[in-house]
Amino acid sequence: MKNGLSKLLNPSSVVVFGASEQEGKAGNTVAKNLLGSRMRVYGINPKGGTLFGSPIYRHLEELPEVPDLAVITLPAGLTPEAVRACAGRGIEAVIVIAGGFGEVGEEGRKLEMKLKEAIAGTKTRLLGPNTLGVLVPRLRLDTIFLPPTHLKRPGPGNIAVISQSGSGVMGALDIGAFYGVGLGAFVGLGNRLDIDENELLEYFAEDPHIAAIGLYLESFADAEKFFNICRKVTPHKPIVLVKAGRSSAGARAVALHTGSLAGSDRVTGGVLKQAGVFRAYDDEELLDTVRILARGKPLSGRRVAVLTGGGGMGVMIADYVEAKENGIAATLAKFEPLTEAKLAKMAVPYASVQNPIDLTPAASNDMYDSALEILQDDPNVDVIIPCILYHAAQREQLTERLCYWGAKGRKQLIVATMGSDLTIEAMRRMEAEGVLVFPSFWRAVKAVDVLYQRAEYLRRIGMLPEMTDSKVCTEEKGRIPKPGIPLAEDEIKMFLRERGIATPDSVVLAGGRLHGEIPFSFPVVVKLRSPDVLHKTELQGVVLNITDQEMLNKVLEKMRLRFPEQDLLVEQMESGGVEIIVGLIEDSTFGLSIMCGIGGTLAELYQDVAFRKVPINRLDADGMLGELKAHALLEGFRGTKVNREGLIELLLKVSDFGEKLRGHIEQMDLNPIILQEDKAVVVDAKLIWKNKRLGTGGIEK
Amino acid sequence: MKNGLSKLLNPSSVVVFGASEQEGKAGNTVAKNLLGSRMRVYGINPKGGTLFGSPIYRHLEELPEVPDLAVITLPAGLTPEAVRACAGRGIEAVIVIAGGFGEVGEEGRKLEMKLKEAIAGTKTRLLGPNTLGVLVPRLRLDTIFLPPTHLKRPGPGNIAVISQSGSGVMGALDIGAFYGVGLGAFVGLGNRLDIDENELLEYFAEDPHIAAIGLYLESFADAEKFFNICRKVTPHKPIVLVKAGRSSAGARAVALHTGSLAGSDRVTGGVLKQAGVFRAYDDEELLDTVRILARGKPLSGRRVAVLTGGGGMGVMIADYVEAKENGIAATLAKFEPLTEAKLAKMAVPYASVQNPIDLTPAASNDMYDSALEILQDDPNVDVIIPCILYHAAQREQLTERLCYWGAKGRKQLIVATMGSDLTIEAMRRMEAEGVLVFPSFWRAVKAVDVLYQRAEYLRRIGMLPEMTDSKVCTEEKGRIPKPGIPLAEDEIKMFLRERGIATPDSVVLAGGRLHGEIPFSFPVVVKLRSPDVLHKTELQGVVLNITDQEMLNKVLEKMRLRFPEQDLLVEQMESGGVEIIVGLIEDSTFGLSIMCGIGGTLAELYQDVAFRKVPINRLDADGMLGELKAHALLEGFRGTKVNREGLIELLLKVSDFGEKLRGHIEQMDLNPIILQEDKAVVVDAKLIWKNKRLGTGGIEK
């Protein structure tokens, strides 16, 4: 495949440095693992000896061929020399397993530099150091140094897992393998000296054996690149990410609202949505989500049929399906009368044939099978959750039928179960047949939501095919301010106005003095005009709701006393409508990002805001609004009429404004924006340049 | 114990109806199970025969004694006669296992009535029918008809589980037993013909072997009684409840806001908090929560020390600890310098000794042990989460040390792990020693929150010892309206005012005509006054913000044209402050309930409301306010000053008003209430009597 990782992930021959027959050594475990494959396997050890019957070579030069892959199981100190030898011999892929490099401090970092030097200028690519290695069960490619007694190996499957941490995914892989969850490929990035997640993403995006990709990352090798690759890949192949370290970023000290609402993780959340990436919060959820997406069909609806043999579990699952809190807020399918009639005909007389179906503990395996067949024909059903307990009856035959309907049925099947030995055995059987099965009611119901979100995403990008390129609103007209020179509120607004964003009529009174009449109607607002003052309200620098000339004169007099010789700003007062906040912020990971929230104070009280990476397109803007908890306010809640489309336009324009000033803006607040039936008016605006505080105003002419 | 269930749960002798040596029969399984106990076990079968060496009796009369307990494994049809025989012989506890009664329709209901008649007037108590039976591992009392090959039996423990459904808890018990989770007692309620959850709660409340009680219920035998028992028990012994069927209650059709915000599950949520009951949403969470509470110490703080041997899992756990979304919003402990110095001294040089501690994969078991010892002394640590993976090294010794520190340590220990065989083995060992251990990072972190919530609850009721009795505000003065007679807004307000609740100054204009001047100052509001009109605003029956006499005259003229000869209400206008909604609603389960929310429209947009059962005390009212997502608005958010104490008083008075009209009120809305620095003023009030719509006003003089 194009980026040259096929030697790493699909080698024909492999050499193990440090190969040994001595139990417990990494070189023994790795060699033993690889000998089970169809690859040509060579061992190297300066001590020589034999490896399960074959001679161990002392030097790389002695090998009869140049192997595709080298696995180096030597201690850290001996590693650079071995890598140099590999590069010299033209080996294209090297895995360095040992720890003791960058992660252990200065000495280690020096050693790591030597690895880097060893491959510099060669065609050798390096995975690690400090990596758990790679695992491709289909090929029996297994370079993991932990013996299978300690870490079970999954069988073949169609998901790829890329992890920056061994411990971050080890437990889930082990228990996953225990339940029979299959794996297409695992790659441990380790210290990520050379090969990174972005290349691997591109590789697996084109790998026909892989249907979905999961990642565990604590940091991005290149966040911009990651975003662009994901945006390209997710329409074709789903990606799921655990981004660990979400709490450690901490709050910003900067005073604007956008900053106080951001926190690095909120931006991450928005950007991942923008790129169509699913998010998980631990390795168990990662494995669940990626295997749901690899196996399940995207669900255009969430009308769930629940099929049980006992009331209790059916009720709990129905609750999870329907509830908004602790649930997915989907719906229980309402069956056709014909469906209920057919169910009643084949079930025991006292079975409940309404949804959730309770076939009662007396139900035979054939009755379950019939019910599954009947449900295939109901047009009101999108997905079936059979909840099967293995405690009361012999259910082996039922498991076979579940495998059949999982593979051949027209409706998506998601099996929920719970229990020990018999249950685990049944799960393994279903896993082997690719049936979606979960040992947890909640995890089964969550799967419905994942498949629905996937369909929603595909539907949305299908509606707007331009989504996948990064073309966005490119408003060319209008000046942009000179970065670094502080701007007064009216100056910021002037730039916005030139780009087609509405602001109130206003007039600046030099030294606070009004000559003649204001050129617009009452009511008006008077504000202190100073690029030095970020928070005017706290200094009593704002007076609202001035209804006539007499009142205005009095206010101006008072303001002149309070702020002698300062400029004042008189603006027409906007009121009514819905208050919106829009902001820009430079995120430490994703760069310039845009925020939108509803409701002034309430955006903060309820933390009801959405973030995306700049630039955004129309779909992104629409997605931001849909994500707000109070989005109903934009969709005619209680008869409010607001210009939702105008707000989308405004977001695109602000994104474009930010894009043109990329690298210079620290934060910008447009707060509030008054959104009415016919317009969206920016009532207050604040801008902080990077590394600058406010000073005297200045405009590039 | 006092309520006579000891014969059911601690019998000295037991007789099995339908006992048999034939494999697969319920009577065989139950007899075999019981023969493992120290009880005297008798079998009855009209066919006679032997039971593992002992003779089977043909008639109850032949037994050498009156057994404490009878387990009836006969088919449903034969059951009433057997129960009658037991009652006749004076057996005090009978378990009826068979299904085929009330749950299967009319015929079954008739059969169930026969059971009822059989025990009527006798001292015989009946569990079931249609029950999974009882299980007390400590006594090897086991009447479960499923063989242990299908449903594993837990070992002895200190939690009691009461379940209305077999299938609702079977899976969790089975997988729990697989992991070694112990059980004090299990009781299946089945059809709950006689013995119900309330008696069992009272029994286990006094049972010294039980430290915490979990319930799975789909309905309450008596909700009022359940509430009162829980309120009495929870200060001494924790209770956890899965209330299944939370989504099915559906929304109400009634037009008031309180109704649209309620939904039966919101009321349930509030009432359970009021009674100090923990809530779980499936059987796995039920078992987790009840065992956390049975074994863990309540945590007065949530400063968590995380101890790992690898970065990844430490970071994910730290995220779950600190994050507000997908986390518990607690804090990572900040260690004393001495702690870090001691950790650094014993760990490998490149270990990270800040929290989360990463001892690295190179850490020995002794290092983990030392770290656990060192952390005991840090005053900044409330709880320790060691995250242990069993994949990389021999950790048996570490498991023993975890058991030691779990039992002897001064800090609460919660072990997180994940994996298959070795992990499961270690978990079983820890479970046997009573260590809190979870095969999931998230479930381990959630345990911290459960123990913290428990301490919070105990602290709050400790502060206000009157919490446990139901004494509440008993405002005696003030009339109450005559139930059923519709009230106009000003009439409702008059009653509220008499009870010390503030309302705006107002005057009623008969026929809409004003004679002379209004007896209070502008601005004022004019409203249509009619008990026939529930939603005045929709009919343009409200005009706000009338600033002077001239404007008032014009408005009155217009209103008289719009509503000829109707009475009008003029009120002084209240503004500023925070808008509050308070309501009363008759809940189908818990009866009269009170609601409080912040923010008019926003209460609905964000569904930000809290419910409690009427009557409430001061602690309940305080808890309601603290539960609101926007509670910061009541606590000086952005410098707002509001009379939180006044709102608590108002809630107590409304509760008292409702209590006096219990059984008559369907819904009441006080919305909005304007909450200011010095007062809480009810600006609008609506009341719907049970089974009545609005009509003409009437007041009991």
* Facing residue for A150 by CB, picked from B349, B422, B605: B422
Q: Which of B244, B324, B441 shows the shortest C-beta gap to A316?
A: B244
Q: Which residue has the higher pLDDT, B499 or A475?
A: B499
CB contact under 8 A, A606 and B606: yes
- pLDDT tens-digit map of A565-590: 999 999 999 988 889 999 999 998 89
* Range in A253-257, B3-7, B172-176, B674-678 the model is least confident about: A253-257
pLDDT category of residue A701 using cuts at 50, 70 and 90: very low
B347 pLDDT more than 90: yes
Residue B567 scores a pLDDT above 50: yes
Task: Residue A352: count other Cβ atoms within 10 Å of its Cβ.
Answer: 18
> Shortest CB distance from B350 goes to which of A103, A312, A391?
A103
Question: Which of the listed ranges A100-114, A523-537, B472-486 does the model predict with the highest average pLDDT?
Answer: A100-114
Residue B253, Cβ density class (10 Å: 0-12 exposed, 13-18 middle, ≥19 buried): exposed
Closest CA relative to residue A203, chosen from A228, A183, A185, A216? A185
Give the pLDDT band of residue B60 (cuts 50, 70, 90): very high
Q: Do residue A420 and residue B265 have CB atoms under 8 angstroms apart? A: no
pLDDT tens figures, A603-643: 788 889 999 999 999 999 999 999 999 898 898 776 777 88
**What's the pLDDT at B465?**
47
The three-state secondary structure class of A353 is coil
Cβ–Cβ below 8 Å for A218 and B315: yes
Task: Give dist(CA B103, CA B257) in Å, integer.
Answer: 37
| Contact predicate B408/B429, CB 8 Å | no
**Please, which residues have CB within 8 angstroms of residue A536's CB and are 6 or more apart in sequence?**
A527, A528, A530, A542
Segment A485-495 shows an average pLDDT of 93
Partner residue facing B218 (CB), from A152, A247, A315: A315
Chain A residue closest to B352 (CA)?
A104
Query: Which chain B residues are Cβ-neighbours of A629 within 8 angstroms?
Result: 605-606
- How many residues make up chain A in this entry? 701
- Looking at per-residue confidence, does A212 or A534 come out higher? A212
Task: Tell me what the mean pLDDT of segment A363-369 comes to.
Answer: 96
Q: What is the pTM of this model?
A: 0.93
**Is the ipTM value over 0.85, yes or no?**
yes
What's the mean pLDDT when you consider all of chain A? 91
Neighbours of A77 (CB within 10 A): 12
More confident residue, B238 or A475: B238
Q: What pLDDT does residue A1 have?
A: 44
A418 chain-B contacts, CB cut-off 8 A: 170-172, 174-175, 283-284
Minimum Cα–Cα distance from A244: chain B residue: B316
Mean of pLDDT over chain B: 91
How many CB atoms are closer than 10 A to CB A612? 25
pLDDT value at B318 more than 80: yes
Evaluate whether A375 touches A411 at the Cβ level (below 8 Å).
yes
Beta carbons of A282 and B441 less than 8 Å apart: yes
Distance, in angstroms, between B465 CA and closest chain A CA? Answer: 32
Q: Which residues of B touch A321 (CB under 8 A)?
A: 247
> Which of A149, A192, A313, A423 best probes binding to B when mutated, by most B CB atoms within 10 angstroms?
A313
Helix (H) or strand (E) holding A668, with range, is strand A665-675
pLDDT of residue A251: 43
Place of tokens 């209590």: B659
pLDDT for res A410: 96
A350, A363 Cβ separation under 8 angstroms: no
Closest Cα in chain B to A326 = B281
Return the percentage of chain B with pLDDT > 90, whole number.
79
Q: Read off the pLDDT of residues A174-210 as tens digits, 9 standing for 90 and up.
A: 999 999 999 999 999 999 999 999 999 999 999 999 9
- Chain B residues touching A419 at Cβ < 8 A: 151, 170-171, 174-175, 178
From B416's Cα to the closest Cα of chain A, the distance in A is 11
Contact A423 B323 (CB under 8 A): no
pLDDT at residue number A470: 44
B165 to chain A: which residues are within 8 Å by CB?
310-313, 315
Maximal CA-CA distance, chain A: 104
Mutate to test the interface with B, among A161, A243, A246 (most CBs of B within 10 A): A246
Q: Is the pLDDT of residue A384 over 60?
A: yes
pLDDT value, residue A211: 98
Expressed in percent and rounded to 5, the helix, strand and coil fractions of chain A are 40, 20, 40
Among the partner-chain residues B168, B309, B632, the one whose CB lies closest to the CB of A313 is B168
The Cα of A389 is separated from the nearest Cα of chain B by a number of Å equal to: 7
Q: Do B152 and A608 touch (CB under 8 A)?
A: no
Mean per-residue pLDDT, A64-84: 97
Token duo for residue A92 = 């294209």
| pLDDT above 70 as % of chain B | 94
Cβ A541 vs Cβ A533: under 8 Å: yes
Q: Which helix (H) or strand (E) holds A227?
A: helix A223-233
User: Between A and B, how many CB-CB pairs are < 8 A?
Assistant: 259
Per-residue pLDDT reduced to its tens digit, B196-213: 999 999 999 999 999 999
Which pLDDT value is given to residue A698?
35
The Cα B517–Cα B524 span in angstroms is 12
- Which H helix or E strand runs over B529? strand B524-529
CA-based nearest distance B165→chain A, Å = 5
Contact B171 A418 (CB under 8 A): yes
Contact A245 B637 (CB under 8 A): no
SS3 of B194-210: CCCHHHHHHHHHHCCCC
pLDDT digits (tens, 9 = 90+) for B64-93: 999 999 999 999 999 999 999 999 999 999
What residues does A126 pair with on adjacent strands? A94
**Winning range, highest mean pLDDT, from A349-353, A421-425, B689-693:** A421-425
- Facing B318 at nearest CB: one of A149, A248, A310: A248
Name the pairing type of β-strands A183-188 and A156-163: parallel
Distance from CA of B531 to the nearest CA of A (A): 23
Q: Which residues of chain A make contact with B421, given a CB cutoff of 8 A? A: 149, 152, 178
Residue B104 in this model has a pLDDT that exceeds 90: no
Give the residue from A110, A150, A307 with the most B CB atoms within 10 Å of its CB, the best one to mutate.
A150
What structural domains does chain A harbor? Answer: 6-210 (3.40.50.720), 298-463 (3.40.50.261), 505-572 (3.30.1490), 578-689 (3.30.470.20)
Distance between CA atoms of A685 and A688, rounded to whole angstroms? 10
A295-326: per-residue pLDDT in tens? 999 999 999 999 999 878 899 999 999 998 89
Mean pLDDT computed over B527-536: 84
> How much is the average pLDDT of A538-550?
89
- The mean pLDDT of B476-492, rounded to a whole number, is 87
Q: Cα–Cα distance between B656 and B653 in angstroms, integer?
A: 5
d(CA B446, CA A409): 38
| DSSP state letter for B481 | P
Nearest CA-CA distance, residue A498 and chain B, Å: 34
pLDDT at A312: 85
pLDDT at B471: 46
Nearest CA in chain A to B105: A350
Please state whether beta strands A40-44 and A50-51 pair in parallel, antiparallel, or not at all (unpaired): unpaired
Q: Report how far apart, in Å, the C-alpha atoms of B582 and of each of B600, B623, B647, B675, B691 are.
A: 10, 15, 10, 12, 21
Cα four-point dihedral sign A221, A222, A227, A230: negative
Is A361 close to B99, i.e. CB distance below 8 A?
yes
Whether B468 has a pLDDT exceeding 60, the answer reads no
Query: With contact defined as beta carbons under 8 Å apart, do B162 and B216 qualify?
Result: yes
Compare all CA atoms of chain A with the CA of B637 and give the residue at the minimum distance: A605
Q: How far apart are CA B183 and CA B163, in angstroms?
A: 14
**CB spacing of A629 vs B605 below 8 angstroms:** yes
Which residue in B407, B404, B433, B431 sits closest to B417, CA to CA? B431
Residue A50: both structure tokens together: 């034999």
Q: Flag the least confident range among A31-40, A156-165, A663-672, B532-541.
A: B532-541
Question: What's the confidence (pLDDT) of residue A250?
Answer: 45
Inter-chain contact A310–B166, Cβ cutoff 8 Å? yes
The per-residue pLDDT for A476 is 59
> How far is residue B660 CA from its own chain's centroid?
27
